[in-house]
Structure 1
Amino acid sequence: MTGPERGLWLADSGHRDDLATFAERAVRLDDAAVVRLRERAGGDVVAYVATGFDVLACRVVRGRLRPKDLCAGADALAAGLADMDGSGFVDTGFPMDSAWRGAVPPDTGFTHLDDVPARVMLDLVSRGGELARQHTGSHGPPSSLLDQEVIAVSGADDSVGVPMRCVFALTAMGFLPQTSAGLSADDIVRIRVSATWLRIDARFGSVLRRRGDPALVLR
C-alpha cells in the first residue's frame, strides 16, 4: 500500500456508509467524541467509541489502516468518509491518539452465553425511556436506573446481568431497529462474556461494558 502515511482505506461504499452512520451517531451523543480504529487480522477494521453510558460501542468494517491503531475525532472521521476517494482512502483528520482515555476489549476470548429476542430489548428501551423521562435530572438518567440489571443470562460456566445502560447504548447508537416494525421474528441479540467484559452483539453493531468496577472502562 502506498500513499498517505496515516488514514483509513475501506473496501467499498457500503462499508463507508456503515462507518459514517456510526460516526454520526457518536457525534450526536457527544460532539467531541473520539473514535478508536484498530486493524485486525483478516482485513477488518474495528471502530470503538465511548457512548457516555460507561459503555463502549463498536462496529466492524472491511478495510485497512495506517498505522494499525489510531484515533480520530468522530466529526473529522465523518467528514473524511463523506469525501472518500476512488481508492477507498479516508482522511481521518488530526491525530487524536492522546485523547483516548480507555482500554479496548480483546478480539477473542469471549464465551457465548445465550441469545435474547431483539423485541425484548426494544420493550426494555420503551419501559426504560418512560422511567428516564420521569426521573431524569440535569445530568441525565440517574445511575440507579442505568445500573438496574434488566436481563439475567446464564450459560454453562458463567452468568451475567445486563444493565439498562447497555440497552440504552444499543439503541442510542442505532444498533437495533428503532421500532418493532423493523424487526423480524429471527432478530436476536447475542450475549457473550469474557473474564473482564460483557459483550452484546446486535444486527448493526455491538456494545461492551467492563465487568466489575465500571470506572475501569475509562482506565
Structure 2
Amino acid sequence: MPELRMTDRVERDDLGAFVARAVRLDSQAVVRMRNRPDSDRMDVWAATPFDALSTRSVVGSVEPSDLSLSGNELLATLTVAGGEVMDPGAPKDLLWRSELPPATGWKRVDDLPARLVGEVAERGIDVAKENVGPKGTPPASLLDQEVFTVQGAGYDVKVPLRCLFVLSGMGFLVDSPAEEEIVRVSATDSWLRLDSRFGAVVRRRHALLPLLL
C-alpha cells in the first residue's frame, strides 16, 4: 500500500495548496511525487492544461519512491485525513503521460522582475477571457505568444505566455512583490524552467519530432 510521510504540518499545508491549485486547473489532474536521493525532500509534479508542468518540493517522503496519484484523492487525504503518515490513494502511474525534465544540467540564464512577470500575466489573462476556445481554454496562438526573450549562459530562451498562465494559475506569483522579487529563468538544451518563490513551471523549449516509420 502506498504511504506518504510528512511530519511537518506546514509542509502538508503547502502540498495541499499545490494539489488544490492543480485540481482547480484540471479536475482530472494527476500528481506525481518523487523522493530526492539522499535528501528529506521530495519533488511534486502536476501536468496542466497549458502544456507545461508545475512543480515544487516539500519535506517528506513517499513509498514507493516514484508515485503518481489522483489529484482529487490526494487532496482529500491531505485535507480530511491528515496526519504524519497517510494513505495517499491508489497508484495512477499509467495515467501520467508527461516526460519529466532532467534533475541536473540546468544553467541559470537570467532573472526577470516578478512584478513585471505578474503584470504581463494579468494582461494575458484579460485577453484570454475574451478569446476562449471551444474547450474552455485560450487558443494556442495566444498561449504560444513569446512574451520574454532572455539571454545568458550561452542560451537564447523565449518564454511563451502559457508558462505565465501556469505561474499565475498555480499561485506561484507573489502578490504585490517587492522590487527585488524575481522569477529565475533556467534552461538546458531542451528545457525551460521558471522559478518563483512558491514553485516552478517547466516546459520543453522545442517540440519533439514525431518518429517516421
TM-score exceeds 0.5: yes
Residues 23, 77 of structure 1: 8 Å contact kept: yes
What corresponds to 2:27 in structure 1?
31
**TM-score using structure 2 length:** 0.93
Alpha-carbon distance in structure 2 between the residues aligned to 1:76 and 1:57: 18
Q: Please state if 1:98 is matched with 2:86.
A: no
Contact 2:108 2:153 in 1 (8 A): no
Match of 2:192 in 1: 198
Distance in 1, matches of 2:209 and 2:47, equals: 12
Q: Give the C-alpha shift of residue 11 in structure 1.
A: 3.5
Contact 2:2-2:90 at 8 Å conserved across structures: no
Counterpart secondary structure, 1:185:
coil
Moved over 6 A (4+): none
Q: Is the 8 A contact 1:7 1:67 kept in 2?
A: yes
- Note the aligned Cα RMSD (angstroms): 1.5
- Aligned twin of 1:137: 133
**For the residues of structure 1 that align with 2:56 and 2:3, how far apart are their CA atoms?**
17
- The aligned runs of 1:67-146 (5 Å cut-off) are 67-82=64-79, 83-85=81-83, 88-139=84-135, 140-146=137-143
Q: Determine the C-alpha separation between the residues in 2 that align with 1:15 and 1:133.
A: 34
Quote how far apart the aligned CAs of 1:215 are.
8.6
Q: How many Å apart are 1:188 and its aligned residue? A: 0.5
Distance 2:19 2:54 in 1: 11
User: Does structure 1 residue 18 correspond to structure 2 residue 4?
Assistant: no
* 3-state DSSP of counterpart to 1:135: coil
CA drift at 1:18 = 0.5
Contact 1:54-1:215 at 8 Å conserved across structures: no
- Provide the C-alpha distance between the structure 2 equivalents of 1:201 and 1:136, rounded to a whole number of angstroms: 27
The sequence identity of aligned pairs, in percent, is 43
Q: SS in structure 1 opposite 2:16? A: helix
Q: Which residues in structure 2 correspond to 1:149-188 (within 5 Å)?
A: 149-177=146-174, 179-180=175-176, 183-188=177-182
Counterpart mapping for 1:39-54 below 5 A: 39-41=35-37, 42-54=39-51
Q: How many residues were matched structurally?
A: 207
| Residue 156 of structure 1, CA deviation | 3.1
Contact 1:81/1:91 (8 A) holds in 2: no
Q: Matched residues in 2 for 1:141 and 1:193: separation? A: 26
Distance 2:126 2:208 in 1: 25
8 Å contact 1:152–1:159 — kept in the other structure?
yes
Which residue, 184, 187, 211 being the options, matches 2:205? 211
Q: Distance in 2 between matches of 1:142 and 1:215?
A: 22
Structure 2 residue matching 1:137: 3-state secondary structure = coil
Q: Which amino acid aligns with 1:135?
A: N
Q: 1:32 to 1:44 in 2, by over 3 A?
A: same
Is the partner of 2:130 in helix, strand or coil? helix
Quote how far apart the aligned CAs of 1:137 are. 2.6
**Does the Cα contact within 8 Å between 2:147 and 2:160 map onto a contact in 1?**
yes
Q: Distance between the aligned counterparts of 1:122 and 1:80, measured in 2?
A: 32
Equivalent residue of 1:209, what SS? strand
For residues 80 and 62 of structure 1, the distance between their equivalents in structure 2, rounded to whole angstroms, comes to 17
